Amino acid sequence: MQAVEAVTANTSLHTRDLGGTATTAQVTAAVCALLEKAAVAAAA
């Protein structure tokens, strides 16, 4: 949930329905990147 909240807070990653220009692919990639980063940090 924290990854979704962090991405949503970033206005450059808002999709058109939120008044931005990002694609769903860009938003998904950003969420996945944050999840991967969290998983690596948790494993360390």
- What pLDDT is recorded for position 15? 97
- What pLDDT is recorded for position 7? 97
Given a contact cutoff of 8 angstroms between Cβ atoms, the answer to whether 22 and 28 are in contact is no
Quick: pLDDT tens for 1-44.
Answer: 999 999 999 999 999 999 999 999 999 999 999 999 999 999 99
pTM for this one?
Answer: 0.88
- What pLDDT is recorded for position 34? 97
CA pseudo-torsion sign 28, 33, 38, 44: positive
Alpha carbons within 13 angstroms on the beta-carbon side of residue 38 total 11
As a whole number of angstroms, the distance between CA 40 and CA 16 comes to: 31
